[in-house]
Amino acid sequence: MDASRPVTPAAAEVDRSLLIRGLRKEYRTGQPVLRDISLTVAGHGMTAIIGPSGTGKSTLIRCINRLVDPTAGEIHFRGQDLARLQGRALRAARRRIGMVFQEYNLVERLSVIENVLCGRLGYVAVWRAWLRKFPPQDIDRAFQLLDAVGLADLATQRADQLSGGQRQRVGIARALMQEPDLVLADEPTSSLDPKTSVEIMELIARHAGERDIPAIVNIHNVGLARRFADRIIGMSKGAIVFDGAPQALQDSHLLQIYGGEGWLE
């Protein structure tokens, strides 16, 4: 296996668009969380998915990298149907999809730099992980990424000593370490204060933009979605009820997405 060699695609030629067709997920039979979602996401730019809790946003995003197995439907990305992949092929597809989590999901007892290097685990052999002998170019890149997210000084700190915002920066560096063709973010700012939330969204937008890769971000905060996304998708009860540019999102749409009225005042 050429696993230890970082794969560097010819960026301009790769088609990174995502095509979802008839995606359905039922955790319990007969109770779909996702109701036959069909969606095309362009190969660049940030797409924000908004909607109330429990509406299937998280399930949708987790179906894409198969942390959740869809019940039915197709997810086409880079010439493959992700919904059908198994074993080695699934792992190979996953390593090109970076993911950022609401609770950061760092390995608390590992150092910051080790957490970033986790992003290479899909590429490097098992013995390298065991001996912590990552290829030198990976280590160099990990330090560069830490620098890029503003944590250069904290490389050897244990992850459990960081603040929430710092942890999320590590999470972003780990995702970028995968050299992803797609970034998924599941409520990346929901556990953070408003100022840090803006910084984290800026970071995701900037790095996805620099690499010209698409980012799909689940987010509660409509203001942040409007500010950073190129496209907003509104979900309600497992279905898409709004799909358009941020400017097109009106209060009437928000009422439809979230229901109720009083909260808009």
Partner 1 sequence: MRIGLVALALYVVYACSVLDITWGRFVLGLGHGARFVSRMLPPNFAPDKLELLYGGMIESLQIAIIATAVGVLLSLPLGLAAARNLVPLPLAWAVRALIALFRTFHPVIVAILFVKAVGFGALAGMLALVVASLGFLSKLIADAVEEMSMQPVEAVRATGAPFLSLVIMGVLPQVMARFIGFSGYQLDSNLRNSALVGLVGGGGIGATLFTAFQRFDYDFVLTIVLAIIAIVMIGEIVSGWMRRLFQ
Residues in contact with partner 1 by CB under 8 A are 65, 67, 90-99, 101, 103, 105-110, 114, 118-122, 124, 126, 129-130, 171, 174, 178
Nearest Cα residue to 176 out of 260, 98, 231: 98
End-to-end CA separation in angstroms for the chain? 59
Residue 46 or 183: the one with the smaller Cβ distance to partner 1 is 183
- The rounded distance, in Å, linking the Cα atoms of 204 and 48 is 12
For the CA atoms of 151, 155, 158, 161, the dihedral, rounded to the nearest 10 degrees, stands at -20
* Least distance to partner 1, CB of residue 227, Å: 26
* 90 or 239: CB nearest partner 1: 90
**Any idea which residue has 């358009």 for tokens?**
244
- Secondary structure of 165-229 as H, E, C letters: HHHHHHHHHHHHHCCCCEEEEECCCCCCCHHHHHHHHHHHHHHHHHHCCCEEEECCCHHHHHHHC
Which pairs count as long-range contacts for 245-253, CB under 8 Å and 24+ apart, including other chains? 249/222
Q: Which is nearer to partner 1, 132 or 206 (CB)?
A: 132
Cβ proximity to partner 1: between 107 and 264 the closer is 107
By C-beta, is 169 or 231 nearer to partner 1?
169
DSSP of 231-247: EEEEEETTEEEEEE-GG
* Least separation in angstroms between CB 191 and partner 1: 12
Q: How far is the CB of 171 from partner 1 (least distance, A)?
A: 8
Helices (runs of H) and strands (runs of E) counted in the chain: 9, 10
Neighbours of 11 (CB within 10 A): 11
Considering beta carbons, is residue 98 or 234 the nearer one to partner 1?
98
Tokens of 28: 């319990």
Rounded least distance, CB 3 to partner 1, Å: 9
